[in-house]
Chain A
Amino acid sequence: MNLNGKARRLPQNDDINTDYIISGRYKFKIQDPVELAKHVMEDVDPAFYGRLQEGDFLVAGRNFGCGSSREQAPMAIKYAGISAVLAKSFARIFYRNCFNLGLPAIEVDTDKFAEGDELEVDLDNGLIRDKTKNIELKIAPLPPTMQTLLGDGGLVEHFKKHGGFAL
Chain B
Amino acid sequence: MGKTIAEKILSNHSGRDAKAGDIVIADLDFMIGQDGTSGVAIDSFRKMGAKKVADPSKIAIIIDHSSPSPNEGVSAIHKKIREFASEQGLTLYDIGCGVCHQLTPEQGHVVPGDLVIGADSHTCTYGALNVFSTGIGSTDLAAGMISGKLWFKVPETMKVVYKGKLPKGTSSKDLILALIGKIGADGATYLALELYGAAIDELSVDARFTLSNMAIECGAKAGLMAADDKVMAWVKQHSQKKPDPQAADKDAVYKQTIELDAAKLEPQIAKPHTVDNVCPISKVLGTPIQQGYIGTCTNGRLEDFQIAAKILKRKKVKDGTRLIIAPASKDILMAMIADGTYESLLESGAVAVTPGCGPCVGTHNGVPSDGENVISTANRNFKGRMGNPNAFIYLASPATVAASMIEGKIADPRNYL
Contacts and interface: CB of A to CB of B under 8 A. Distances in A.
A155 B121 contact: no
B384 A19 contact: yes
Q: Give the interface size class of chain A.
A: 35 or more
A165 B136 contact: no
Nearest to B386: A24
Interface string A9-27: 0000001010110011101
Contact of A67 (B73, B121, B137, B151): B121
B185 A71 contact: no
Tell me which of B25, B137, B149 has the highest count of chain A C-beta atoms within 10 A of its own C-beta.
B137
Interface in A29-87: 29-31, 43-44, 62-63, 66-72, 74-75
A72 B40 contact: yes
Contacts, number: 143
Contacts of A28: 35-36, 65-66, 73-74, 77, 363
B266 interface: no
B221 interface: yes
A43 B65 contact: no
A27 to B, nearest CB: 6
A106 to B, nearest CB: 16
Contacts of A160: 47-49
Given A164-B146, A167-B151, A27 B36 contact: yes
A142 interface: no
A79 to B, nearest CB: 13
A29 B139 contact: no
Contacts of A145: 23, 151, 153
B11 interface: no
Tell me which of A19, A145, A160 has the highest count of chain B C-beta atoms within 10 A of its own C-beta.
A19
Contacts of B136: 69, 93, 96
A71 B74 CA distance: 17
Q: Give the interface size class of chain B.
A: 35 or more
B75 to A, nearest CB: 10
B135 interface: yes
A70 B380 CA distance: 15
B73 A155 contact: no
A135 B73 CA distance: 47
Nearest to B149: A165
A91 B37 CA distance: 18
Contacts of A62: 186
Nearest to B54: A164
Contact of A69 (B49, B120, B149, B150): B120
A154 interface: yes
A103 B79 CA distance: 30
Contacts of B48: 156, 159-160
A20 B362 CA distance: 13
A138 interface: no
A15 to B, nearest CB: 5
Contacts of B65: 24, 28
B40 A75 contact: yes
B415 interface: no
Nearest to A46: B389
B190 interface: yes
Contact of A23 (B153, B274, B384): B384
A69 to B, nearest CB: 4
Interface in B356-370: 361-363
A100 B384 CA distance: 27
Given A70-B37, A91-B219, A159 B143 contact: yes
Contacts of A91: 186, 189, 219
B86 interface: no
Contact of A30 (B73, B219, B361): B73
User: Top 9 A-B pairs ranked by shortest CB distance?
Assistant: A29-B73, A97-B137, A63-B186, A71-B137, A69-B135, A69-B121, A71-B138, A43-B389, A159-B48
Interface of A: 15, 17, 19-20, 23-25, 27-31, 43-44, 62-63, 66-72, 74-75, 89, 91-93, 96-97, 100-101, 143, 145, 154-156, 159-160, 164-165, 167
23 contacts: A15-B274, A19-B380, A19-B382, A24-B384, A25-B362, A28-B65, A43-B383, A63-B219, A66-B186, A69-B37, A71-B137, A74-B137, A96-B137, A100-B137, A155-B44, A155-B143, A159-B48, A159-B49, A160-B48, A164-B146, A165-B25, A165-B150, A167-B25
